[in-house]
Amino acid sequence: MARADTAADVIVAGGGAAGLACALAAARAGAQVAVLEGDVACARKVLATGNGRCNLTNESLDPGRYRYPAFAAAVLGNAPEERIARFWEGVGLVTTSTGGWVYPRSKRAESVRDALMGACERAGVRLRCAHEVRGARRDAASRRWLVDAWAPERPVRRRAGETERRYRRRVEEARHARVGFSAAAVVAATGGGAGVWAAWTGLPLAPESPVLCPVACRCADGALDRLDGLRADAALTLRRAGEPVAREVGEVLFRRYGVSGICAFNLSRRCEPGDALEVDLLPELAGEDAARAMLARRAELLGEPRDARWFDGLLARPLGEAVWERAGAAGGDRELVGRLARTLTCFSFEVTGLAETASAQVTRGGLALEAFDPATLEARDLPGFFAVGEALDMDADCGGFNLAWAWLTGMRAGAAAAAAARNG
């Protein structure tokens, strides 16, 4: 087993969700592990997940929720939910679930990070923050991986009470130098932006782009301007050339630029410019006929609709106005109830692309899956090279599926990397 501070059995590049899970699994399998994290602290993204509550997995990890279900199924294996539950039990994290979405019992994302980092420290993982990996290659003679990091020449300690921002600035201002590490196995766990690994290793890369973000839309009648900031329960159907492509039900947030909310995020993984996005504003009813019957009953109770205020009590006023205008409604129209029912159940926009991509939750693309063995996450033609989490070309719906991928790929690769190091 390796001894010097810059030598290890396994080097994990990136101390995010997948990297820490991997490091822990490798250390528990007996390897000496160093994590090289470019930022001043590990797992910072975890803190932002689930609106600060961290939806860390799902009680039903259906491979169909992943972009490549067959590869996902091979990685998930049997009862992945139980393996993840055991993993978290083993680090002392108590979880709870809401509608199958699993959270830490504390409903605080830092509980997840702290439990994981505590377990890593107890297992003897060396966490090297402010160590940005800038290169990696396999030395054919020694059959070891040589990893270059860029780090402060002298360690910069965080002062008591110092903000992370101020500390980061001091680290950035410190004199940096190249530090060379070596290991029997290296794990790419740097999240999105995996193009550097493709350049360093020659492995194929699937083009990267953001997903899980709002869907940008347009409409001719200015409805989105009117609805900006409004939330409503709705069903969203995505249509391409008239055919339904995907459907999501949940809370929708209308924005000037399009549609946001978890169901829109999920559609951002499937939509293309030119698709139609149909919003059913009465998702609790079984479609247009049921909506027409409900509106006819409402007309009996309130009188025939004469203006948008007829929707008061059913829809938020701006939504009622948008529906009224879109339906081309005018008082005394005999077909009006039917047109209103159609508009309410199929309020349509044209998809123009994605919006707010800078804060997208996940990067699509990454190191191409065909180059990796799903049983170990080791590159088939590059011994000792592993990739995990978002660095791989896999993305999934909201609901804990992406973090589940991070934990499961991390656990698999960690155990396999330790075995690879053991076997020379």
Ligand X SMILES: Cc1cc2nc3c(=O)[nH]c(=O)nc-3n(C[C@H](O)[C@H](O)[C@H](O)COP(=O)(O)OP(=O)(O)OC[C@H]3O[C@@H](n4cnc5c(N)ncnc54)[C@H](O)[C@@H]3O)c2cc1C
Residue with smallest beta-carbon separation from ligand X: 16
By CB under 6 A, tell whether 346 contacts ligand X: no
**25 binds ligand X, rule: CB under 6 A:** no
| Residue 51 contacts residue 147 (beta carbons within 8 Å) | no
| Spatial separation of the C-alpha atoms in residues 335 and 322, rounded to whole Å | 18
Query: 1: exposed, middle or buried (C-beta count within 10 Å: 0-12, 13-18, 19+)?
Result: exposed
Q: Residue 336 CB, nearest distance to ligand X (Å)?
A: 43
Considering the rule CB under 6 A, would residue 39 count as an interface residue with ligand X?
A: yes
Choose one: 23-31, 37-45, 111-119, 298-306; the region binding ligand X (CB under 6 A): 37-45
Q: Pull the structure tokens for residue 288.
A: 């247009």
Q: Which is nearer to ligand X, 18 or 119 (CB)?
A: 18
Strand 276-280 to 258-260 pairing? unpaired
By CB under 6 A, residue 366 contacts ligand X:
no
**Residues binding ligand X: what is the number (CB under 6 A)?**
33
Among 9, 16, 31, 115, binds ligand X (CB under 6 A): 16
CA distance 312 to 229: 18
Contact call for residue 36 and ligand X (CB under 6 A): yes
> Which residues, 6 or more positions from 250, have their beta carbon under 8 angstroms from its beta carbon?
233, 234, 261, 262, 263
Site membership for ligand X, residue 22 (CB under 6 A): no
Regarding 188 and contact with ligand X (CB under 6 A), the answer is: no
Tokens at residue 197, please? 């690994």
191 touches ligand X (CB under 6 A): yes
The one-letter amino acid code at 247 reads R
Q: Is 260 in the site for ligand X (CB under 6 A)?
A: no
278 near ligand X, judged by CB under 6 A: no
Sole binder of ligand X in the list 278, 378, 390, 393 (CB under 6 A): 390
Question: Counting contacts by CB under 6 A, is residue 320 touching ligand X?
Answer: no
| Shortest Cβ 290–ligand X spacing (Å) | 34
DSSP for 328-367 reads T--TT-TTHHHHHHHHHH-EEEEEEEE--GGG-SEEEEEE
Contacts of 336-340 with CB under 8 Å at 24 or more apart are 336/304, 336/305, 337/292, 337/295, 337/296, 337/299, 337/305, 338/292, 340/295, 340/305
The residue from 32, 95, 190, 343 that contacts ligand X (CB under 6 A) is 190
Applying CB under 6 A, the span of 119-127, 173-181, 184-192, 245-253 interacting with ligand X comes to: 184-192
Check binding of 48 to ligand X (CB under 6 A): yes
Nearest to 18 by CA among 424, 327, 416, 391: 391
Does position 133 bind ligand X by CB under 6 A? Answer: yes
Q: Which residue bears the tokens 């899980």?
A: 212
Q: Is position 357 an interface residue for ligand X (rule: CB under 6 A)?
A: no
Which of 38, 104, 320, 365 touches ligand X by CB under 6 A? 38
Residue 14 engages ligand X in binding (rule: CB under 6 A): yes
* Amino acid code (one letter) for 302: L
Q: Which of 11, 344, 402, 415 binds ligand X (CB under 6 A)?
A: 402
Name the residues that contact ligand X, by CB under 6 A. Answer: 13-19, 36-39, 44-45, 48-50, 54-55, 132-133, 189-191, 361-362, 389-391, 400-403, 406
